[in-house]
Chains A and B, each alone.
Chain A
């Protein structure tokens, strides 16, 4: 057990926990877009900045990947911290002007203008889709391309990935919901990754519930016969 102070409040955290997790468990709000408890912290969005004092030294850290330590003093509400977060959000909003999730955060954090030239992107490069595909699903369908201004998330060569099974985990985890999954005419389609796969119907209720690629993936992974896997969660 580790004792620390967050915004003047005594907090007991578990060894190895991050400041963000400890704060959230203590009911203290820290904004974050690239954090998800199922994948490793990445510190990409920079919104979770806090001020940490250890001994004589105070500094700014990203709370999502900063581990708690005994006697640490954390402040999430100082003017400096808020200014820092507002700047980060302003930059994200300049990059992606049309994301309701960012507008909502702007209301909370008090960003009322964007002073930078507007871009036309819709991806904040949080990397949650990439990390979920790799760490949770265990595939590497998604990755990054290029760097700086040109950095983006895509499949290799912008071609439909051979690895992608259209499970939709990347869509589910996207904090700004820009990876739509559409099901039509017996296919599941993910336009952003230029990929579609035929849907498989449940042998009991007849409802479409997975893609052929998912079925193949599960067969290889579990070694179970096709008949057993072709039953949906409701009928199992």
Chain B
């Protein structure tokens, strides 16, 4: 698979708009970065540099906030984020085998993104749906009672969408 180029556009304008939403107040950095991550799917370097530039906050501070919270990612993410629950209940019901199968099918490890930027695979620890375990969540959609056998068709379904 060829590495898909990520295009980061309208940085200046987008940052300006998001900052205006929060009264250009750098104390609201978390909300600012959240909104920007919604636009780009992740936090590109040039966006963080622009935030630093427009808020006059040192880049070191912006970078610290962006790396402090697990909710932020500085790497491009796939179109679909696949979260495999590895909480106690799902684990007991065999979620690790589902995860292994997903890693095989996608050719990536948990925490990584496929080169075609379709899928990001990650683990979460309990999503409060233990009765449905093993649970796999794809872009906020819950897939219950997952098994390794169901993985391939699930991926196929999203690839074709």
- Contact of B64 with A by CB under 8 A: yes
Could you write out 18 A-B pairs with CB less than 8 Å apart? A130-B60, A140-B60, A143-B63, A144-B60, A145-B64, A145-B67, A146-B67, A146-B68, A147-B67, A155-B60, A156-B59, A156-B60, A156-B63, A157-B45, A157-B63, A157-B74, A163-B58, A163-B59
| B26-68 interface bits toward A, Cβ cutoff 8 Å, 1 = contact, 0 = none | 0000000000000000000100100000000011111110011
B48: A residues at CB distance < 8 A? 156
How many residues of chain B have a CB within 8 Å of chain A? 12
Pair A147/B68 contact, Cβ less than 8 Å: yes
The 7 A-B residue pairs with the shortest CB-CB distance, nearest first, are: A143-B60, A140-B58, A156-B63, A145-B67, A146-B67, A156-B59, A140-B60
Residue pair B60, A141 in contact (C-beta under 8 Å): yes
- B55 → chain A closest CB, angstroms: 13
Task: Decide if A143 touches B68 in the complex (CB within 8 Å).
Answer: no
Q: A134 contacts which chain B residues (CB < 8 A)? A: 58
Q: Give the Cβ gap from B118 to chain A, nearest Cβ, in Å.
A: 26
> A156: shortest Cβ distance to chain B, in Å?
4
A156-B59, A163-B59 known; 6 new pairs, CB 8 Å cut-off, are: A134-B58, A140-B59, A143-B64, A145-B67, A157-B63, A157-B74
Query: What total count of A-B pairs have CB within 8 Å?
Result: 34
> Does A144 contact B59, Cβ atoms closer than 8 Å?
no
A142 CB–B CB distance under 8 Å: yes
Which A135-176 residues sit within 8 Å CB-CB of chain B? 140-147, 155-157, 163
Chain B interface (Cβ < 8 Å from any Cβ of A) = 45, 48, 58-64, 67-68, 74
Compute how far the CA of A142 lies from the CA of B63 in the bound complex, rounded to whole angstroms. 10
Please encode chain A, from 49 to 78, with 1 for each CB lying within 8 Å of some chain B CB and 0 for all others: 000000000000000000000000000000
B43 CB to closest chain A CB, in angstroms? 11
The residue among B61, B62, B67, B68 with the most chain A CB atoms within 10 A of its own CB is B67
* With A156-B63, A157-B63: A143-B45 Cβ-Cβ less than 8 Å: no
Q: Which residues of B contact A155 (CB under 8 A)?
A: 60
Cα–Cα distance between A143 and B62 once the two chains are bound (Å): 10
**A134 vs B68: C-alpha distance in the bound complex, in angstroms?**
20
Give the chain A neighbours of B62 by CB distance below 8 A: 156
Question: How many angstroms between the C-alpha atoms of A139 and B45 in the bound complex?
Answer: 20
Q: Does A142 contact B68, Cβ atoms closer than 8 Å? A: no
Query: Could you say which residues of chain A place their CB within 8 Å of the CB of B45?
Result: 157
How far is the CB of A139 from the nearest CB of chain B, in Å?
8
Q: Could you say which of A144, A156, A157 has the most chain B C-beta atoms within 10 Å of its C-beta?
A: A156
Instruction: Please give me the residue from chain B that is nearest to A133 by CB atom.
Output: B60
A141 contact set on B, CB distance < 8 A: 60
The residue in chain A whose Cβ has the minimal distance to the Cβ of B48 is: A156
User: B64 touching A144 by the CB < 8 A rule?
Assistant: yes
Identify which of B60, B67, B74 gathers the most chain A CB atoms within 10 Å of its CB. B60
Considering the chains assembled together, what is the distance between the CA atoms of A140 and B68 in angstroms? 18
Q: Measured between C-beta atoms, what is the minimum distance from B91 to chain A in Å?
A: 23
Instruction: Please report the C-alpha to C-alpha distance between residue A11 and residue B133 in the assembled complex, in whole angstroms.
Output: 65
- Do B58 and A145 have beta carbons less than 8 Å apart? no
A62 vs B48: C-alpha distance in the bound complex, in angstroms? 35
Most chain A CB atoms below 10 A, which of B45, B61, B62, B63: B63
Rounded to whole Å, the gap between the CB of A151 and the closest CB of chain B is 9
Q: Kindly list chain B residues whose C-beta atoms are within 8 Å of the C-beta of A130.
A: 60
Please, how many angstroms separate the alpha-carbon atoms of A141 and B60 in the complex? Answer: 7
Nearest Cβ on chain B to A123's Cβ, whole angstroms: 15
